[in-house]
A and B are shown apart, each in its own frame.
Chain A
Amino acid sequence: MARIDLHHIRHSYRARAARKEDYALKEVHHSWADGGAYALLGPSGCGKTTLLNIISGLIHPSEGRVLFDGRDVTELPTEARNIAQVFQFPVIYDTMSVFDNLAFPLRNRRVPEKEVEQRVREVLRIIDLGAPPEGRARGLTADQKQKIALGRGLVRADVSAILFDEPLTVIDPQMKWELRSQLKLLHRKFAHTMVYVTHDQTEALTFAERVVVMYEGEIVQVGTPEELFARPEHTFVGYFIGSPGMNVLPIEVEGTRARIADQEIALPGAPAVRGRAELGVRPEFVRFAPDGLPVSVRRVEDLGRHRVVRAALGPHELAAILPEGAPLPNEPRVHFEPEGVHIYAGSRRVAMEAQP
């Protein structure tokens, strides 16, 4: 178990990277606390897997250092780093039995056979495979294979961190649930540092204590699921987390007032920006009120517990959540609740000075 520090990591898959776009990872400077359960969330191609492979040593970063508990491991090969990694598609050694699969990492490290036996038996109990350990590993189901892959990580007593690279992609939905809760249980019991890569926000939010959101090769926000929801630091976070995502509307800021599509509204404070900016408001904070901005309703999606109203505010699209049972007004006007209004300049959230 270890704390992992990423020190100004940049990585490019090109031999000579000149422009900013050449970098798959633009600049990542982040610490993963010892024993933390992190989710690394982001769309496909944002650099999540690259970052994970840099931690495990499968990729050597173009620039920057990787530190485990303060020790520089950047130059160390994967096998010397004591990292466990579970991949998207379950990797098992076809010709070996379940037991030998689990013993493989230990036998490669010349651990005495007596200890191997003891560790493997323990891991078999932990992962709760539901298949005989003497049987061949090849005939098992995808979720059993993924459990073996995880078990190969757990079997090493000194493992610094366990990395998951979208491990539930090929697992059936009901097994996903079971495996995820099993992972949480494992984390609570053994307190391994865990980093879980996913592009599924539900998976990220249910697994992790802290979620690291990546976008185009950069970490745009780190926070608890609540923080990501309540205070998105980047318009991408607002858009990516939440269902439906945050509304982002272009505005002109003048002091404490903003113009949206020929209408003017009052802001809850004075943002530290003038002129062109963006206003972000989650659908949960859009209320239908008698006075407000007139909108035209395009369609209504009934999700059972609530309805999502897709409307147009001038040329812009706007989603709003209508609680169950609440009627849709004939001439709808919307009002943004002040605590849900954020102002963004260049996609980044800017502070707002509260008005007395």
Chain B
Amino acid sequence: MTRTQNNAAWFLVLPVLVLVAFNAIIPLMTVVNYAVQDSFGGNVFFFEGTRWFEAVLASDRFHQALGRQILFTFTILAIEIPLGVGIALCMPRRGIWVSVCLVLMALPLLIPWNVVGAIWNIFALPELGLLGRMLNGLGFDYNFTRGVGAAWFTMILMDVWHWTSLVVLLAYAGLISIPDAYYQAARIDGASKWAVFRYIQLPKMKRVLTIAVLLRFMDSFMIYTEVFVLTGGGPGNSTTMLSIDLVKLALGQFDLGTAAAMSIIYFLLILIFSWIFYTVMMRGESQQ
């Protein structure tokens, strides 16, 4: 068999290559560059090898931020995924209420991140905000700028409010694609509501739920704006997520070497976690 050799075709890929180079590869290489060198200004660099990486991995500050990040991400996943599926199951499948529900669900997703942070900041203020006043009125000592528990509670509530809709919409899309015959057959087989959920709805939602888990994992693991606007990482460092810590390190202290090394570790963490989630959830899927 002869193959047509026409290398001129490679030029067609060039624009994309240039674009990707400028917005991904070159910035990433800068980070790699900083991560392995040190400088005292004057454009003089010394090669440092893996020193910055070792420093980051050994620092308590990084361990604490990572711990907070993992706690936050898994908490919101544990709430948003079941809650989203639950709401999707309650939504009507036919009729005029479908569009009403869908629009209502989509609303939080349309609000910019920093606005979400601002909304919740004001909403939760102990003296002025509706939520803050109400909780204090009910006898709770609620002040998210002072109490660690209150700060975490507000932060998680905010994320659940902002992002559960995404899970709902994805799960709903999975649900409405199930043909009626499945439900009819289940009724004839005498299946309980739980059995219908376990053996029909959940398996049919598996693919969209995998996407939902991956999206919510990556997004919440990188969360910055909302938390920064709401609490600024405080009180103390109690809500300082990895991204907030990274910005403090890079722009606040100008420790470019440590910050660059941390960026790369951060990136690899997300990659590894995503791969684990995907592999575990798609297990047995390849048989088809």
- Judging by beta carbons under 8 Å apart, are B181 and A87 in contact? yes
- Judging by beta carbons under 8 Å apart, are B191 and A104 in contact? yes
- Judging by beta carbons under 8 Å apart, are A79 and B187 in contact? yes
A296 within 8 A of partner (CB): no
For the complex formed, measure the closest distance between the CB of A27 and the CB atoms of chain B, giving whole angstroms.
Answer: 25
Instruction: Please name all residues of chain A whose beta carbon is closer than 8 Å to the beta carbon of B199 when the two chains form the complex.
Output: 93, 95-96, 104
The answer for the CA separation of A85 and B183 in the assembled complex, in Å, is: 12
The answer for the CA separation of A88 and B179 in the assembled complex, in Å, is: 11
The answer for the CA separation of A153 and B265 in the assembled complex, in Å, is: 57
- Judging by beta carbons under 8 Å apart, are B287 and A136 in contact? yes
Tell me the residues in window 172-197 of chain B with beta carbons closer than 8 Å to chain A beta carbons: 179, 181-182, 184-185, 187-192, 195
Instruction: Among B184, B192, B204, find the residue whose CB has the most chain A CB atoms closer than 10 A.
Output: B184
- Judging by beta carbons under 8 Å apart, are B189 and A152 in contact? yes
Given contacts A78-B187, A83-B188, contact A91 B203 (CB under 8 A): no
B7 within 8 A of partner (CB): no
- Judging by beta carbons under 8 Å apart, are A89 and B179 in contact? yes
The answer for the CA separation of A83 and B187 in the assembled complex, in Å, is: 10
For the complex formed, measure the closest distance between the CB of B260 and the CB atoms of chain A, giving whole angstroms.
Answer: 46
For the complex formed, measure the closest distance between the CB of A135 and the CB atoms of chain B, giving whole angstroms.
Answer: 10
Closest to A85 in B: B188
Counting contact residues on chain B (CB < 8 A from A), the size range is 10 to 19
Number of A-B contacts (CB under 8 A): 58
Proximity string of chain A (68-88) to chain B, C-beta cutoff 8 Å, 1 when within and 0 when not: 000000000111000111011
Instruction: Please name all residues of chain B whose beta carbon is closer than 8 Å to the beta carbon of A83 when the two chains form the complex.
Output: 188
Instruction: Please name all residues of chain A whose beta carbon is closer than 8 Å to the beta carbon of B195 when the two chains form the complex.
Output: 104, 108
- Judging by beta carbons under 8 Å apart, are A108 and B189 in contact? yes
- Judging by beta carbons under 8 Å apart, are B190 and A138 in contact? no
Identify the B interface with A (CB < 8 A).
179, 181-182, 184-185, 187-192, 195, 199-200, 203-204, 287-288
Identify the A interface with B (CB < 8 A).
53, 56, 58, 77-79, 83-85, 87-89, 91, 93-96, 104-105, 108-109, 136, 138-139, 149, 152-153
Q: A58-B184, A87-B185, A105-B188 are in contact. List 19 more A-B contacts (CB 8 A).
A: A56-B184, A58-B187, A77-B187, A78-B187, A79-B188, A79-B189, A83-B188, A85-B184, A87-B181, A88-B181, A95-B203, A108-B189, A108-B190, A108-B192, A109-B190, A139-B287, A139-B288, A152-B189, A153-B188
